[in-house]
Amino acid sequence: MTDGRLHVFWHEAVLLHDTGAGLFEVEATPLVAEPEPHPETAHRLRNMKAILERGPLRETLVWREGRLADPEELALVHEPAYVKHIRELSAAGGGRLTPTTLVSPRSWDAARAAAGTALAACDAVLDGTAVRAFALVRPPGHHAQPAQADGYCLFNNVAVAAERARRGGVERVAILDWDVHHGNGSQEIFYRRRDVLTISIHMRHGSWGPSHPQTGSPLEVGVGEGAGFNVNVELPLGCGDAGYRKALEEVVVPIVDQFRPGLMLCAAGQDASQFDANGRMCVTVDGFYDLGRTARELADRHCGGRLVAVQEGGYGPTYAAYCLHGTLEGLLGASRQLPDPLAFLPDDPTRADEGIAAVRAALGRFWRA
């Protein structure tokens, strides 16, 4: 094992989840001639895998085999009856769990591969065979609650890894989630606990209804022993690289420094990018590099470098792959090597001020930020 390399965990079964086509993410309409693919498709991961295999990072990556999670492992954070329901629905041919979230005949295997590969990456870091690991998986997971699928997510891959780490002896785990949407599933799972710090940086979108009652507001700080250990950094649309950097520097870094985790977990989506149909945050490859670099620096400072990143959203079929490459350059502490093919002019850091002020007002009694 070499500290300068990143271990990438992959399992082919993640490609088996078939989300079909329709009106973007919902059911097809007869009013159009050509329904479009659901945004969460296998080809987005094929592009990500290809850019890692062909791009300038290829010599610094160690490819390792993922695995399928057992139902008992999924039940670390999900209700057994819910796990059974997903299995039976997939075996019966699939169905629609929410307006945006589908199950296909092979989704059970794909979802088990996503969670199991995240666990394999986490286990490698915990047993010392890797310092930094990345699980390249789908379907994504951070919206999955204990008994509720949502937002393309069936099982909460990063939460399963966090619980594994806790039960494996890591006293404090920090989850940093920069998918463009609120990590409501991870919030719900750990909302009453102080051993797992959940931080979600996301665009302001509010509740999605019964399947997603959480709002993502900074006022959702946790309850009971968990009060103060859920941090929502809700940012206005179009915040861009400068706004994300400011949120990292003024909120995320000070809070993680005070929490002092033993392991950093990252829910690493690319749907905050400037060319993603599922978000409007205008983050470029440079911005994703900064997210990865900051996570690495926090892990180096508090965790002996131990860090696990798990793939979440990212629906620009090609540009998301470039954003992932930039993220991993940051996680490796490498210089920027792959140019952004679609870069644009610098943005305005003051667009993040309102969101940062709201976090300080909501969590000022818990953290200095």
Of the candidates 22, 288, 12, 280, the one whose C-alpha atom is nearest the C-alpha of residue 152 is 22
6-27+40-363, which class in CATH? alpha beta
Section 193-213 average pLDDT: 97
pLDDT tens column, 117-157 = 999 999 999 999 999 999 999 999 999 999 999 999 999 99
Q: DSSP for 193-220?
A: -SSEEEEEEEE-----BTTB-----TT-
CA distances from 226 to 53, 78, 174, 360, 368 (A): 41, 19, 13, 17, 17
Q: Where residue 1 falls among pLDDT bands split at 50, 70, 90?
A: very low
Write the CB contacts of 166 (distance below 8 Å, at least 6 apart in sequence): 173, 195, 196
pLDDT tens column, 228-275 = 999 999 999 999 999 999 999 999 999 999 999 999 999 999 999 999
Catalytic residues: 143
pLDDT tens column, 319-369 = 999 999 999 999 999 999 999 999 876 778 888 999 999 999 999 999 998
Q: Quick check: 113 and 13 in contact, CB under 8 A?
A: yes
pLDDT tens column, 24-54 = 999 999 999 999 999 999 999 999 999 999 9
In the chain, where the domains are located: 6-27+40-363
232 strand-pairing partners: 200
Evaluated on CA atoms 278, 279, 284, 290, the torsion sign reads negative
Q: How many CB atoms lie within 10 A of CB 76?
A: 19
Secondary element (H or E) of residue 229 = none
